[in-house]
A and B are shown apart, each in its own frame.
Chain A
Amino acid sequence: MNRDSNTSIIPKIILILGTLSVLGIFLLFFRPRSEESPRQSAPESPQELFTQVIAAVEPRILELWEEGDTLIPVEGVNCPDEIANRPEVGKSYYQCQPHLWQCYWQGGVSDTPEIPIKLFGNTYHVMANAAFDSIPEISPLPRFYQSIKRSPVGLNLRHGYVMELKVKELPGFFQRIVLSDTCRDAYLPQRIYGYGQVKDRREEGFIWDNFGRHLFIDKFYVSNQKANEWFSMSGQNSRIIKDPVKWPYPALLSFEDQQKYCGFLGKRVLEAKLFDAATMSPTDIKNGLPDRVIRPQTPWQRDLRLSFLGMAQTNPEYQLAPLDCQLAQVEGCPFTIYETDSATWMGIYYALGFFPESLKNTIEPEKNLKVSSRFIPVASRWHELGVRGTWDGVQSRDMPVAFRCYEEVVP
């Protein structure tokens, strides 16, 4: 009986093993395969492999450059020579910011400054080289970038930063790249615009159009950090502002120097009619050829009386709210810079309030200053679009004047 039962088990075992084998073969054929096809195997040449790693890291490099502000921890970064961690400075300052790039690779943001890239089943670590001379006025350490101003034949690149990348696992190779300031300006759409104010709402006043023109306006004032780069590139190192706390603040240059600064970069000091175009919101953004061109009195409200500025004019007891100061930093508001709450319809900042701003005016040359600023009481009549004063082009302590540039691009 026992012998019979033993012999009857063997076919069962064979059947189970057979089934398992068939199942195994089936699973072997239909298993999920990795996304890498045999064609995507690692190149044999280390130089080619290096190029592949560099190509793969490009989006991460751009992310670090354009959105570096997202990496900054709440407690700030640890690079006192480069970043001052001031609470009044908004995060936009740290976008396309060479000092943050320097800080990151110096180890001031994380202990292991490297970008891991998974490729061909391996992990490679991309790093930057401190390949450039130090700027003694800023820091004795060698730099991870170098500012350049160049317009090589065939490339429409006037200013940028040269950096050098390496891969930890592939020693002996390096790749130089140029990153440019892709975070700092906004495009002025092509349409009809009005300049200044009109006495009667039925009047059209001075109107013009920018069809066929590609105009880019700086979103923010030119900062001391930007002016420092100009000083450094143009052999004016003695003018470099050494205190990192002041780098995000507006550069206070004479009008002559403002023109030189913008001209150095192939740009011009912002014009009054462009400022009005960029700050006076059109009624119908989709219609570039409207029958009537309106002149809003503020960037957020066509009628000033309905805004907090108008209310303050009629009510001497008006108390500034935090939101008011975000829209227009007037007297009594806390000082902030590089915040983005004051955006206009096309994406520039500081339309009213903040700093007095120098404007080139080709229509009424004497009206060359946006007076509305953080030095003027909220109830002042200067806080209105199209209202301008006169500036003699020389900076004074009582009235610091900021500026920004615009660029016209010929495609």
Chain B
Amino acid sequence: MMLILMLIPFLSFANIPHHWSSAISISDRHEFYQNNEIISRPANSWQILFGVVYPDGKLNLQKDCIYYRVPGNERGELKLKRTSVEVSCERGLEALGDFTIKELRALQFEITDKNIALFLTQSDYRVQSWNFLRLNQFNNREIRKNPKVLFLASVDPLEGNMMLKRDDKLCHAVSDDCEIMSPSTCHECSEGWFEAPNGCMVGPKYCGLKSCGGKNQPACRRGIKYQRKRKKFECRTDTSFAYCGPGHTIQCVGAEAWCR
């Protein structure tokens, strides 16, 4: 018994998620809780505080979801659950955690670009603080937003590899009215991507390394400014924004220009 009691501090130390230092982003963050706020409402309920996304040793992205049962009739409880990055933290709200700390009087957290910190006030009023320096610093001013040095987390890699997007799957949806429907996910394509020009500054893109200008290939993009006219380009009226190779002509598929 004595041995177990002596080991408790070491066991809890071993559970401190030091791999959060390799976080590349924060997801599922609670929309109301502010940095350093003592979380007291709604009492007796489980809340998602935030998720920490980090690359593992195989460069797959993993996520730790951090839940807190707000103190009320009983003391508070912290729960951590590891999951794949595509899974929302919502799904683990009711599930058992990989690691829990019970009997908490209070909890505060702080997330900045440089640090992730948790302050846990235990039943004897001792405050256990976890403070993780974020090693992965992203330069959002650059077109390639990856950090020059990517720090990987020392955790067991997830079984299997993430599925990359297959060929011909839409990875950047742009409407015929040039509205970008969702951010590009073309970097998830297994072998690059191609664009089907539609007369917009940014055209719809699909996974795959299809060339342009040949038979049954998308037309090659030529641009919408070299004409030096301020106007909207529509495939059926003006195809100068694209071109096909010799022997092929542009055929409009919706607003997209393809070569036949």
Given contacts A177-B151, A268-B192, A360-B211, contact A148 B59 (CB under 8 A): yes
Q: Cα distance A266–B226 when bound, in Å?
A: 28
Cβ contact within 8 Å between B187 and A410: yes
Cβ contact within 8 Å between B246 and A178: no
Judged by a CB distance under 8 angstroms, whether A142 is at the interface is no
Chain B residue nearest in CB terms to A407: B192
CB contact list, A258-302 vs B, under 8 A: 259, 263-264, 266-268, 289, 291
Shortest beta-carbon distance from B88 to chain A in Å:
14
Q: Which of A12-20, A110-118, A154-162, A329-337 contacts B (4 or more CB under 8 A)?
A: A154-162
Judged by a CB distance under 8 angstroms, whether B243 is at the interface is yes
Task: Name the A residues within 8 Å of B148 (CB-CB).
Answer: 62, 179-180, 182
Instruction: Kindly state the interface size class of chain B when it binds its partner.
Output: 35 or more
Shortest beta-carbon distance from A54 to chain B in Å:
7
Cβ contact within 8 Å between A207 and B226: yes
CB contact list, B56-76 vs A, under 8 A: 57-61
Task: Name the B residues within 8 Å of A148 (CB-CB).
Answer: 59
Task: Name the A residues within 8 Å of B209 (CB-CB).
Answer: 259, 263, 268
CB contact list, B125-162 vs A, under 8 A: 131-133, 135, 143-146, 148-152, 154, 162
Q: Cα distance A358–B144 when bound, in Å?
A: 27
Given contacts A175-B154, A211-B201, contact A152 B225 (CB under 8 A): no
Cβ contact within 8 Å between B220 and A362: yes
Given contacts A192-B226, A365-B245, A410-B187, contact A47 B151 (CB under 8 A): no
CB contact list, A148-173 vs B, under 8 A: 148, 150-158, 160, 162
Q: Cα distance A305–B158 when bound, in Å?
A: 63
Judged by a CB distance under 8 angstroms, whether A209 is at the interface is yes
Shortest beta-carbon distance from A55 to chain B in Å:
6
Instruction: Kindly state the interface size class of chain A when it binds its partner.
Output: 35 or more
Given contacts A153-B162, A209-B225, A211-B224, contact A51 B135 (CB under 8 A): yes
Chain B residue nearest in CB terms to A57: B149
Given contacts A151-B187, A180-B146, A211-B224, contact A48 B131 (CB under 8 A): yes
Shortest beta-carbon distance from B177 to chain A in Å:
16
Shortest beta-carbon distance from B180 to chain A in Å:
11
Cβ contact within 8 Å between A154 and B25: yes
Task: Name the A residues within 8 Å of B213 (CB-CB).
Answer: 362-363
Judged by a CB distance under 8 angstroms, whether A212 is at the interface is yes
Residue from A289, A360, A362 whose CB has the most chain B CB atoms within 10 Å: A362
Judged by a CB distance under 8 angstroms, whether A208 is at the interface is yes
Shortest beta-carbon distance from A208 to chain B in Å:
5
Shortest beta-carbon distance from A265 to chain B in Å:
8
Shortest beta-carbon distance from B62 to chain A in Å:
10
Q: Cα distance A365–B226 when bound, in Å?
A: 22
Shortest beta-carbon distance from B2 to chain A in Å:
25
Judged by a CB distance under 8 angstroms, whether B36 is at the interface is no
Cβ contact within 8 Å between B149 and A61: yes
Given contacts A209-B223, A210-B223, A289-B225, contact A162 B152 (CB under 8 A): yes
Shortest beta-carbon distance from A358 to chain B in Å:
14
Chain B residue nearest in CB terms to A192: B226
A301-313 interface code vs B (CB 8 A; 1 in, 0 out): 0000000000000
Judged by a CB distance under 8 angstroms, whether A411 is at the interface is yes
Cβ contact within 8 Å between A365 and B246: yes
Given contacts A152-B55, A268-B192, A409-B144, contact A178 B152 (CB under 8 A): yes
A–B pairs, 17, beta carbons within 8 Å: A47-B16, A51-B132, A150-B59, A151-B188, A151-B190, A152-B61, A152-B162, A175-B135, A175-B151, A177-B149, A180-B148, A192-B226, A208-B222, A210-B223, A409-B144, A410-B172, A410-B187
A-B pairs, top 4 by smallest CB distance, nearest first, are A209-B223, A212-B201, A178-B150, A156-B187
Interface residues of B (CB under 8 A from A): 13, 16, 18, 21, 24-25, 53, 55, 57-61, 85-86, 131-133, 135, 143-146, 148-152, 154, 162, 164, 172, 184, 186-193, 201-202, 205, 209, 211-213, 220-226, 228, 243, 245-246
Interface residues of A (CB under 8 A from B): 45, 47-48, 51-52, 54-55, 58, 61-62, 148, 150-158, 160, 162, 174-180, 182, 187, 192, 207-214, 259, 263-264, 266-268, 289, 291, 360, 362-365, 409-411
Given contacts A176-B154, A263-B191, 15 further A-B contacts (CB under 8 A): A48-B18, A51-B132, A51-B133, A58-B149, A62-B149, A151-B164, A152-B59, A154-B53, A155-B187, A156-B187, A177-B150, A177-B151, A179-B150, A266-B191, A410-B193
